[in-house]
Amino acid sequence: MIFNSLDFAIFLPIVFVLYWFVVNKHLQFQNLVVVAASYVFYGWWDWRFLSLIIFSTIVDYFVGIGMGKSELPARRKLLLWISITVNLGLLGFFKYYNFFLDNFISAFSFFGTTVQANTLNIILPVGISFYTFQTLSYSIDIYRRKLEPTKDFMAFSAFVCFFPQLVAGPIERATNLLPQFGKPRVFEHDKAVDGLRQILWGLFKKIVIADTCATYANTIFNGSELFSGSTLVLGALFFTFQIYCDFSGYSDIAIGTSRLFGFHLNRNFAFPYFSRDIAEFWRRWHISLSTWFRDYLYIPLGGSRGGTWMKVRNTFAIFLVSGFWHGANWTFIAWGALNAIYFLPLLLLGNNRKNLDMVAQDSWLPSPKEVLQMGSTFALTMLAWIFFRAENMTHALAYLGEIFSSSLLTYPEVFPKKMLLLLLAFLLVEWAGRKHEYAIENIKTSFHTYPRWVAYGLLLATIFYYAGQEQQFIYFQF
């Protein structure tokens, strides 16, 4: 089941009514409704993979209980490794088995040895990378004594499988989300309305911007050998907006839906395309994953505390693993490596935490320097996205090669003016709302009742106008 589907439009009100009007006086029953709804939501795609979520839930629940009862360092470490092995083992098998097997065979072929091995027809379970990291953080935090294990199995199950963020995040920490399942929830009208508003904006970003950009991006990337460098630049531009609006749109819908049920999820995007350097971009893009790698990989490796070699090593480690997390393809690893190269000069010169506030914090317009900084950061990011979108390394390098050729100066074969104007209008709305959690959050205070409802109506009308065939969210494949 996907957010931009008729199924979800029917599913959500049913769950809402059960949650607030049938079992609202019983916390355990509310949590049971959340678990049942989450299993239906996930099983709608393929019910067979519910067993993986249930298995991970059981393992990490009892690992947590075991670590909570033991003071023996060896026993606690053994339990932690059970959690790590089970979760990463499942993730590794379903996501990376064929990748490693293919590269193993290729490595032997390079030296003239033929190895016979058959790949498996493995279906990648939707969201496995997300809920695996979520449950892992629970076990690691208990091991570090930053969190007490819960004895409430229903609450823990709800934390693992909470349907708004189950398949594409945000990746929640147990320290934030799990305690919310242990406290009575009271319906708050203002939070629910704010949740609906954020859902509306998320649907607009997904259906109007991302899916429309996808049409042009797919045409250009899939036939890149037929187009000039100028057209390929537009293809990269359309994919740059597609992936942002697709993924941040999902996060907006997830966070807004959670508010309808009285839950607070952490922010996952903070207007990353207004960043003035790559370090700022990574503080604003996919925040839940970036901070996960920071806390559970980068800092344990030593972070930025060591010498130059350690800083370089740790930077490449976090970006390469981040790239590999996204998919079993060398293009993702190249994407991660390129971002590490972008990031390193800032880190080594001590400028990686220079831009911590929002651009043009005290003014409407950015300074010329900020315009140059945002433009260069956006251009570097757009070039990196080419590796992310390309089918393989050969495709990515050929795509870049044509961009940096004389055909870059020709008139594009594909030049959708209406789409470019729509992107410009979208950017202006995002710029106006950049100091808020999401772009139209302040519409309630900035507009009187009538103009506000006119704005909502225009957004809805635009969504219905652009709505067509349901397109899955990009990050479902990760």
Examine the domain organization and report whether 194 and 238 are in the same domain: yes
Q: Are 196 and 256 in contact (CB under 8 A)?
A: yes
**134, 159, 185 — which closes off a domain?**
185
pLDDT of residue 106: 58
Examine the domain organization and report whether 171 and 197 are in the same domain: no
Helix (H) or strand (E) holding 260: helix 229-260
pLDDT of residue 452: 87
pLDDT greater than 90 at residue 394:
yes
Question: What is the 8-class DSSP label of residue 125?
Answer: P
Q: Regarding predicted confidence, which is higher, 187 or 328?
A: 187
Q: What is the DSSP string of 436-467?
A: SSSTTTTHHHHS-HHHHHHHHHHHHHHHHHH-
Examine the domain organization and report whether 80 and 171 are in the same domain: yes
Helical ranges in 115-188 per DSSP H: 128-143, 153-161, 174-177
Render pLDDT for 238-292 as a digit per residue (tens, 0 to 9): 999 999 999 999 999 999 999 999 999 999 999 999 999 999 999 999 999 999 9
Examine the domain organization and report whether 29 and 150 are in the same domain: yes
Examine the domain organization and report whether 376 and 470 are in the same domain: yes
Share of the chain above pLDDT 90, in %: 75
Residue from 53, 23, 28 nearest 152 by CA:
28
Residue from 147, 164, 131, 162 nearest 59 by CA:
131
Overall average pLDDT of the 13-19 stretch? 96
pLDDT of residue 450: 85
Residue from 34, 30, 10 nearest 21 by CA:
30
Omega of the bond leading into 170 within 30 degrees of 0 (cis)? yes
Q: Residues with Cβ < 8 Å from 89, sequence gap 6 or more?
A: none
Residue from 262, 292, 282 nearest 344 by CA:
282
Examine the domain organization and report whether 121 and 40 are in the same domain: yes
Q: Regarding predicted confidence, which is higher, 446 or 406?
A: 406
**148, 168, 185 — which closes off a domain?**
185
Examine the domain organization and report whether 361 and 421 are in the same domain: yes
Query: Containing domain of residue 398, as a range?
Result: 190-276+355-477
Domain count, the chain: 2
292 in a structural domain: no
| Residue 469 burial (CB count, 10 A) | 5
Overall average pLDDT of the 292-315 stretch? 89
Render pLDDT for 158-188 as a digit per residue (tens, 0 to 9): 999 999 999 887 999 999 999 999 999 999 9
Overall average pLDDT of the 423-429 stretch? 96
Examine the domain organization and report whether 69 and 198 are in the same domain: no
pLDDT of residue 105: 58
Examine the domain organization and report whether 41 and 141 are in the same domain: yes
Residue from 57, 42, 60, 55 nearest 125 by CA:
42
What's the mean pLDDT when you consider all of the chain? 91
Catalytic residue, chosen from 189, 264, 286, 326, is 326
Confidence of residue 119 (pLDDT cuts 50, 70, 90): low
Number of residues that this document lists for the chain: 478
For residues 442 and 454, what is the distance between their CA atoms, to the nearest angstrom?
15
pLDDT of residue 469: 65
Render pLDDT for 437-468 as a digit per residue (tens, 0 to 9): 999 998 887 777 888 889 899 999 999 999 87
Asked if 395 is an active-site residue, the reply is no
10 in a structural domain: no
pLDDT of residue 115: 52
338 in a structural domain: no
pLDDT greater than 80 at residue 103:
no
87 in a structural domain: yes
| DSSP 3-state of 444 | helix
pTM: 0.93
60 in a structural domain: yes
pLDDT of residue 111: 54
287 in a structural domain: no
Share of the chain above pLDDT 70, in %: 94
390 in a structural domain: yes
pLDDT greater than 70 at residue 137:
yes
Q: Residues with Cβ < 8 Å from 125, sequence gap 6 or more?
A: 46, 49, 52, 94
pLDDT greater than 80 at residue 333:
yes
Q: Residues with Cβ < 8 Å from 342, sequence gap 6 or more?
A: 278, 380, 384
Q: Which two tokens stand for residue 475?
A: 């990050």
pLDDT of residue 209: 96
302 in a structural domain: no
pLDDT greater than 60 at residue 427:
yes
pLDDT greater than 60 at residue 148:
yes
Confidence of residue 478 (pLDDT cuts 50, 70, 90): low
Q: Which two tokens stand for residue 209?
A: 């911007």
pLDDT of residue 467: 86
Examine the domain organization and report whether 167 and 221 are in the same domain: no
Examine the domain organization and report whether 23 and 130 are in the same domain: yes
**127, 162, 185 — which closes off a domain?**
185
Examine the domain organization and report whether 236 and 137 are in the same domain: no
